[in-house]
Chain A
Amino acid sequence: MKKLKKDSPIERIWNGIFVENPVFVLVLGMCPTLATTTSAMNAIGMGLSTTVVLALSNLLIALLRKIIPDRMRMPAYIVVIASFVTMVDFLMEGFTPDLYKVLGIYIPLIVVNCIIMGRAEAYAGKKPVVASFFDGLGMGLGFTLALFLLGSIREIIGAGTWLGMKITPSGYVPVNIFVLAPGAFLVCGFLVAIMNKLKIGAGRRPKSEWDPTEKICGDCFSCMKFGVCDKKPEGTETAAQTIAKSKGTVAEAVAKPAAGAGATAVKAAGTPAGAEASAAAAGAGTEKKEAES
């Protein structure tokens, strides 16, 4: 496939449906995903209402992104999202009362759906208006497709129907569990696995975490070899030193160089700059003493 131009509408929609599918890749919005996919129809209803909210709130947030102060962005986003959700809520109550009854609390709960907050925070708050709108649209369509797939599988296996029509042979006994909560987890797990297979492929299995020949360590603090290995992490001290310091055994060893630095600073106290330096060093020294005691 030809490489798409970054942030172009088609690229955004493709990204939302496949590359960063909110359900199967980002694993966001799991609560409505698992709870409302008991049938294909419910899944479509939930997916489309989320899509509307997602596209419109992305659009508005992108429009307002230069006005909203950075520290106030969360409440501002919530207000924008909540107003769209309220609109969708009333519209659904008015025009699709049956679906509204089935979905119930999950419509108002779109406000706290993490896909919408996630996209506002990760994309719409930084990018131009058109790209943000299509990002929301793509994410929403990806969400809808994922829910539709999940709902279809669960409805066909668990109830023997699809979109309300009976499609299985008459002798088929519906497997109830697929309409219930455990079925949602089972089907979702299998779909994520298939998606990973499609995306990653068989030949590119990720390396196991514990690889002694590995050269790049990355984050020392989540490493299994933390404290045993003597490689220098990104900071200045080795992991072994960090551990020892936390136990308080090498506090003296660390304090000594500091005292030395203080002494040299005192020697150079003739100039004003030196005086400042000595004061700073003395300050550091007292801090160290306090830490020791």
Chain B
Amino acid sequence: MSEQYKVSVSPHVRDSITTSKIMLYVIIALMPATIFGIINFGAHALLIVCVSIASAVASEYCYEKLLKKPITTNDLSAVVTGLLIGLNMPPQIAWWIPVVGSVFAIIVIKQLYGGIGQNFMNPALGARCFLLIAFSGQMTTYAAGDKFANLADFVQGEFTSHAAGALDALSGATPLAYLKQGYDFNLGALFAGNVTGVIGETSALCLLVGGIFLLIMKIIDWKIPVIYLGSFGVLVLITAAVRGYSNPCLYMLEELCAGGIMLGAWFMATDYVTSPITYNGQIIYAVFLGVMTWLFRMVGSGSEGVSYAIILGNVITPMIEHYTRPRAFGIAKEKKQKKEAGAS
């Protein structure tokens, strides 16, 4: 028998894209934001990013070596996890905190659930939430040298005449905290990114460039990030209008550029493993993320909530997939079957 009669199981048509290639594209897409963060925050930021990546890869290697499993460090997924953890750290944090985060992400969230493709939530985000609860003081201190000492200088005015509290009370806070209080923060600074925040989240421009690169390379689908940002934006617009802010559109744009929503929407919510694969499921998931982020940011007491929103989305993903499973070809719709049963 010649080769052409070989019998095999589907899939028969294979793409040249592999896990390591996808991960490499994600790393390339994250590079603008990483480089900008390092330039913005200095050498310590570089150290943090490097330590995160190294500890993530090392813990994956050690775990798989110890348990005599196939070593999967070559697929670069641990590098992406480490890079994302590094980008989620405040720039002046102690070096060992991202190490704890990386070990937690790789071992507890990824490997204990079965390794790549089996984790129930995004490892980097899980680690971020773990660290946020474990070291809440260090994780929310953004005071970063002289450069950002006067964040209040970026405040251009007020959206509402009764903005709560004096500006002095907010020193060392993030732009989001100002927005929450009803101050008009400089949109240009938020978009370009020379403000405080975690290393990778400040520049909406760099993240947008990376996200569009992923879209063009067809690594991610447009639905999750666009619908997520869109639903969040619409809700913020309505809130701002209801609260009587002077310029709701500007307020919405500033909310979209500030904080971790760009990083989350393009790079974390789109994680293949923890987002739905069905068409309708992705739309439901994205809207859910938008609503949850809006709830955390506008209704809740804190000013940021992207990571918790995405983790909640990750957790309900199996349920979304269960209810949005597409109809298999050749099988009648549920309703029709019921009708036939009734007729007979």
Binding site for B on A (CB under 8 A): 173, 175-178, 180, 182, 186
B319 within 8 A of A: no
Distance between A2 CB and nearest chain B CB, rounded to angstroms: 35
Chain B residues within an 8 Å CB radius of A180: 133
* Given A173-B135, A177-B130, A177-B133, 13 new contacts (CB under 8 A): A175-B100, A175-B134, A175-B135, A176-B133, A176-B134, A176-B135, A176-B136, A177-B134, A178-B134, A180-B133, A182-B130, A182-B133, A186-B108
Distance between A164 CB and nearest chain B CB, rounded to angstroms: 22
Kindly name the residue among B108, B133, B134, B135 whose own CB sees the greatest number of chain A CB atoms within 10 A.
Answer: B134
**8 A Cβ contacts from B131-165 to A:** 133-136
Name the residue of chain B whose CB is nearest to the CB of A158: B134
Name the residue of chain B whose CB is nearest to the CB of A178: B134
Chain A residues within an 8 Å CB radius of B134: 175-178
- C-alpha spacing A173/B97, complex, angstroms: 10
Interface residues of B, count at CB 8 A: 7
- C-alpha spacing A182/B133, complex, angstroms: 9
Distance between A176 CB and nearest chain B CB, rounded to angstroms: 5
Binding site for A on B (CB under 8 A): 100, 108, 130, 133-136
Top 3 A-B pairs ranked by shortest CB distance? A177-B134, A177-B133, A175-B134
- C-alpha spacing A180/B132, complex, angstroms: 12
Chain A residues within an 8 Å CB radius of B135: 173, 175-176
- C-alpha spacing A186/B129, complex, angstroms: 14
Query: Main SS of the interface on chain A?
Result: helix
Could you list some 16 contacts between A and B, CB below 8 A? A173-B135, A175-B100, A175-B134, A175-B135, A176-B133, A176-B134, A176-B135, A176-B136, A177-B130, A177-B133, A177-B134, A178-B134, A180-B133, A182-B130, A182-B133, A186-B108
Chain B residues within an 8 Å CB radius of A173: 135
- C-alpha spacing A177/B133, complex, angstroms: 6
Distance between B328 CB and nearest chain A CB, rounded to angstroms: 17
Distance between B285 CB and nearest chain A CB, rounded to angstroms: 24
Kindly name the residue among B108, B133, B135 whose own CB sees the greatest number of chain A CB atoms within 10 A.
Answer: B133
Distance between A207 CB and nearest chain B CB, rounded to angstroms: 18
Name the residue of chain B whose CB is nearest to the CB of A173: B135
Chain B residues within an 8 Å CB radius of A176: 133-136
Name the residue of chain A whose CB is nearest to the CB of B108: A186
- C-alpha spacing A173/B93, complex, angstroms: 13
- C-alpha spacing A177/B135, complex, angstroms: 8
Chain B residues within an 8 Å CB radius of A175: 100, 134-135
- C-alpha spacing A176/B100, complex, angstroms: 13
- C-alpha spacing A194/B135, complex, angstroms: 27
- C-alpha spacing A176/B131, complex, angstroms: 9
Distance between A188 CB and nearest chain B CB, rounded to angstroms: 13
Distance between B218 CB and nearest chain A CB, rounded to angstroms: 35
- C-alpha spacing A213/B100, complex, angstroms: 44
Chain A residues within an 8 Å CB radius of B108: 186
Distance between B339 CB and nearest chain A CB, rounded to angstroms: 15
Distance between A245 CB and nearest chain B CB, rounded to angstroms: 15
- C-alpha spacing A212/B308, complex, angstroms: 41
- C-alpha spacing A242/B135, complex, angstroms: 57
Name the residue of chain B whose CB is nearest to the CB of A157: B134
Distance between A154 CB and nearest chain B CB, rounded to angstroms: 12
Distance between A114 CB and nearest chain B CB, rounded to angstroms: 26
- C-alpha spacing A221/B55, complex, angstroms: 47
Chain B residues within an 8 Å CB radius of A186: 108
- C-alpha spacing A211/B28, complex, angstroms: 43
Distance between B238 CB and nearest chain A CB, rounded to angstroms: 34
- C-alpha spacing A182/B104, complex, angstroms: 13
Name the residue of chain B whose CB is nearest to the CB of A181: B133
Chain A residues within an 8 Å CB radius of B100: 175
Distance between A141 CB and nearest chain B CB, rounded to angstroms: 30
- C-alpha spacing A180/B136, complex, angstroms: 12
- C-alpha spacing A177/B100, complex, angstroms: 13
Distance between B331 CB and nearest chain A CB, rounded to angstroms: 16
Chain B residues within an 8 Å CB radius of A178: 134
- C-alpha spacing A186/B135, complex, angstroms: 17
Distance between B136 CB and nearest chain A CB, rounded to angstroms: 7
Distance between A269 CB and nearest chain B CB, rounded to angstroms: 37
Distance between B338 CB and nearest chain A CB, rounded to angstroms: 13
- C-alpha spacing A4/B108, complex, angstroms: 39
- C-alpha spacing A203/B221, complex, angstroms: 45
Distance between B327 CB and nearest chain A CB, rounded to angstroms: 20
Distance between A195 CB and nearest chain B CB, rounded to angstroms: 16
Distance between B252 CB and nearest chain A CB, rounded to angstroms: 33
Distance between A293 CB and nearest chain B CB, rounded to angstroms: 13
Chain B residues within an 8 Å CB radius of A182: 130, 133
Distance between A208 CB and nearest chain B CB, rounded to angstroms: 13
Name the residue of chain A whose CB is nearest to the CB of B138: A173
